[in-house]
Amino acid sequence: MISRFDVAAVQESRRNPKALKRLLGTLGPRWQVIVSDVTEGAAGNGERLAFLYDTDRVQPSGLVGEIVLPPVGEDPARQFARTPYTASFTRAGVEFTLASVHILWGKNLAERLPEITEFAAWMHDWAVRPLDWNSNLIVPGGLQPGPDR
């Protein structure tokens, strides 16, 4: 299924890259990957975020990064449970930036809301900053329905 897309965001890629490398081998030599470091700690679950892309269709345009929240008051260590990961690409002369985020699941939607709200605010602030690398920001992915939906 991934081969039908130009770029695919893959969440829950593990610390051990064996499965990700096997997937790349299956996709073939024109596919490449940009992958994050592991988010450490229990909430990080030993996971990485990855962008797989077809080099015949898109090219990375230079920006890669992890979204780190600025300190607020006396809480300089507050961060996302799994650090969101970004990368920019160009296709047919159009640049776009993907931001992949794996929200802390929780037991219900209310437990997810604070992190979703914080991420949305961060993305908004990024989008409106003048003179920043923020062309065509896209957040790929979906929400799995939980027991309370």
CATH classification at residue 55: 3.60.10.10
- Structural domain contains residue 81: yes
pTM: 0.82
- Taking the C-alpha atoms of residue 53 and residue 29, their distance in angstroms, rounded to an integer, is 11
- Assess whether pLDDT exceeds 50 at residue 28: yes
Q: List beta partners, residue 90.
A: 59, 95
Looking at this protein, which amino acid is placed at residue 48? R
Who contacts 94 (Cβ-Cβ below 8 Å, separation ≥6)? 136
Q: What is the DSSP letter of 106?
A: -
- Taking the C-alpha atoms of residue 149 and residue 146, their distance in angstroms, rounded to an integer, is 6
- Structural domain contains residue 145: no
- With bands split at pLDDT 50, 70 and 90, how would you rate the model's confidence at 26? very high
Tracing tokens 């893959």 back to the chain, one arrives at 10
- Structural domain contains residue 115: yes
pLDDT at 97: 94
pLDDT at 148: 46
- Structural domain contains residue 144: no
3-class secondary-structure state, position 128? helix
- Structural domain contains residue 73: yes
- What is the domain range of residue 50? 2-138
Q: What is the pLDDT of residues 39-97, one digit of tens each?
A: 777 766 778 889 999 999 999 999 998 887 776 677 666 677 778 889 999 999 999 99
- Structural domain contains residue 147: no
Domains in the chain: how many in total? 1
Terminus-to-terminus CA distance in the chain, angstroms?
27
